[in-house]
A and B are shown apart, each in its own frame.
Chain A
Amino acid sequence: MDWLSVIPPFVYIALVAFGVVLVTVAYLILLERKVASWTQDRIGPNRVGPWGLLQPLADGLKMFFKEDYRPGGTDKVLFTTAPAAMMLVVIVAMAVIPWGGVHRVETQISVAAGQDVLAAAIASIPMNADLVGEPRVVEAGTYGIMYEYAFQIADLSIGLLFLVAVLSLAVYGVVVGGWASNNKYSFIGGLRATAQMISYEIPLGLCLLTIVVMTGTLDLGQIVEKQAHYWGGVIPAWNVFAQPLAFLMFLTCIHAEANRSPFDLAEAEQELVGGYHTEYTSMRLGLLLLSEYAEMIVTSSVCVALFFGGWHLPGLLGPDAQHPAVTSSWVVVLLRCAVYFIKVLVVIFVFMWVRWSMPRFRFDQLMMLAWRSFIPLSLVVLLATAIALYFAVAQDESFRSLRRIDGYTALLLFGVNIGLLLGAMVLSRVLPPPPLTNRRIGIPGSRFSHTPVPAAGEVEAVVQTKREFLVGVSNQL
């Protein structure tokens, strides 16, 4: 086990997570095709291997052996950079996902006489680990030490901020790729992605803020740890139960963030040929497609960490009730990783389920959804959460000191969320209708326009009213 103590844990966590995620990405494409088939009463790929399980291999081989074609007039550097940048950004974002809580290790070191014990202990533990407690004497020259490290690649205290910053860079792949292609369809796809990203980052950030207000930290590992207890001894304290409306908006926003249907306007194949990747072939196209799925994994992981308690399942809590994330058992750590991953897969299944159920939004509908409903609603949810948390103080001292949400506060927040949902439903009936866009406008004299044909003397008057109507409509726009 010498090499394990030499290599810091984040290195092998990174290697394993990277491998698992990349293989999963390939299999997600198969899962997507399977889900599509099931909703359409088909069976899906079943020719390559049992149940089509070798299909990703065949697809990958195909991608590698296709001609790597670059059309004339493209920006050579950007054309290649775009897919790489997109994949890179998504992989970097993977670093802060808290897979397995905190692992505590007990070990013994031998210290020569006259040496500083504390310094020797710190020197002996892995790079990103923290020493816990004082080294205690086992026998002469041998000390027992404890150290713990977060079972994730990078334990950032501003993990959430880092994620938001990095994930919004992913749109650069789409925009740059669309621009470098020298193709109007690709370009329109890139433009759409930009506008969509700008619009949906706002409610996404506000939903994240709601959770930050609740938990009081930006550290994803701590956000998960604060959900690792039970309300009333039964209901797991996952944020989704306290903030259903914020969860709904967050889920919709990550659909838009990951460019997934019904928000996949950047690659609307019915209108834009292939969207931003029209001109891409071979492994460059492969990277673009894979990074789309990798982004799904990352956004789903964030969703699981924020709303579904991350690795939390009954039986996986550590011995210390104050810090349930800390465990010294390898089995528990690995089980937590598995639980986290299964939860992520469930969220990804929802992504796919939505894709094959919903028609794509029109672009003005997409913008209307963000600016007219999500931004106001998420602002109100944030405000209401802040007010509710100000007034609802946990009765239990341990809850207060750990800044955990107790059952009553959760119930209050749940009520506030449902109340806001119903209020929004009522308000949407009362508010004036959206502006007239894309409505059919009657053109006098046209045989396709169902306007009454005016009598001989009235033509001028009808034309005048129509003109006024058109001017009115354009003013309204």
Chain B
Amino acid sequence: MKDTEIIELQEPRLSVADQFYVPQMLVGMGTTLKHMFMTLTGKDRVIQYPEEKREDIPVVEGGMNLRTYRGVHRLNKDEGGRVKCVACFMCSTACPAHCIHIEAGESPWADREKYPIQFDIDELRCIYCGMCEEACPVDAIELTHEYDIVGLTRQEMIFDKEKLLKMYDQTVEKEPM
């Protein structure tokens, strides 16, 4: 860094109101009073989360656009109710957080060679970037719009195949493939 690049900042000289503190204090108290009034009259207040949700509010009013929201994963099923995944490992390769663990096995069905015996996603390690969804050649893994998942232990938050398939059943009506 050169001397010429350094900008010397001087503290601005205080105005009389600043220096005497009281007028500026009253201005500040006016601001908080305005906020109190707005809150009490219900004109401006935070969303009351469990009762009100951001997705129920229009986007222009500060709501959430669910269509672009990346939430917890699901494993899609095909028409026969079988898991769509072919255990190609594309998603776990693409995953920047290394949170997808797949164990492949020989498929019991004639139309494909492999299927996942085990399919675990660590939802705590996942960064919800959606790269797995992009990488999947058969559209088997998808990110749903569910964001309020909870678990009491870390182990609970590692979603296995059954859980991910169940997530499909829960969300397929709201979010078709």
Which residues on A are within 8 Å of B, measured CB to CB?
A: 35, 37-43, 248, 353-354, 356-358, 424-425, 428-429, 450, 452-453
Contact = CB atoms under 8 A, between A and B. Distances in A.
Given A41-B44, A41-B45, A450-B8, A429 B35 contact: no
Contact of A353 (B8, B16, B20, B29): B29
Interface-centre pick from A37, A42, A357, A450 (highest chain B CB count, 10 A): A357
Q: Is the interface of B mostly helix, strand, loop or mixed?
A: helix
Contacts of B149: none
Contact of B36 (A38, A424, A425, A450): A38
A79 B45 CA distance: 43
Nearest to B15: A429
A348 B40 CA distance: 19
Given A43-B45, A450-B8, A38 B39 contact: yes
B118 to A, nearest CB: 42
A83 B45 CA distance: 38
B39 A425 contact: no
Given A353-B33, A358-B25, A425-B19, 12 more contacts: A38-B40, A39-B36, A41-B45, A41-B46, A43-B48, A357-B28, A357-B29, A357-B32, A424-B20, A428-B16, A450-B6, A453-B3
5 contacts: A38-B39, A39-B32, A43-B46, A354-B29, A425-B19
Interface string B132-158: 000000000000000000000000000
A182 B93 CA distance: 56
B9 to A, nearest CB: 9
B46 A42 contact: yes
Contacts of A429: 16, 19
A354 B3 CA distance: 44
Contacts of A450: 6, 8
Contact of A35 (B36, B46, B48): B36
A42 B53 CA distance: 15
B38 interface: yes
Interface in B2-46: 3, 6, 8, 16, 19-20, 22, 25, 28-29, 31-33, 35-36, 38-40, 44-46
B20 A41 contact: no
A399 to B, nearest CB: 32
Contacts of A38: 35-36, 39-40
A453 B33 CA distance: 50
A353 B39 contact: no
B33 to A, nearest CB: 7
Interface-centre pick from A35, A38, A248, A428 (highest chain B CB count, 10 A): A38
Contacts of B25: 357-358
A428 B36 contact: no
Contacts of A453: 3
Given A357-B29, A358-B25, A450-B8, A43 B3 contact: no
Q: Which 7 A-B pairs have the closest CB atoms?
A: A38-B36, A357-B32, A39-B32, A38-B39, A357-B29, A357-B28, A425-B20
A41 B38 contact: yes
B33 A43 contact: no
B35 A41 contact: yes
Contacts of A37: 39
Contacts of B45: 41-43
B43 to A, nearest CB: 10
Contacts of A358: 25, 28
Contact of B22 (A35, A248, A356, A357): A248
A428 B38 contact: no
Nearest to A452: B3
Interface-centre pick from B3, B20, B22 (highest chain A CB count, 10 A): B20
A43 B39 contact: yes
B127 to A, nearest CB: 30
Nearest to A439: B11
Nearest to B43: A41
Contacts of A452: 3
A43 B51 CA distance: 13
Contacts of B40: 38
Interface in B33-72: 33, 35-36, 38-40, 44-46, 48
Nearest to B34: A39
A38 B42 CA distance: 10
A152 to B, nearest CB: 33
A428 B20 contact: yes
A39 B48 contact: no
Contacts of A43: 39, 45-46, 48
Nearest to A350: B29
A425 B19 CA distance: 8
A64 B3 CA distance: 63
B176 to A, nearest CB: 37
Contacts of B19: 425, 428-429
Contacts of B38: 41
Contacts of A41: 35, 38-39, 44-46
B27 to A, nearest CB: 10
Contacts of B16: 425, 428-429
B130 to A, nearest CB: 32
A231 to B, nearest CB: 25
A303 B171 CA distance: 62
B8 A39 contact: no
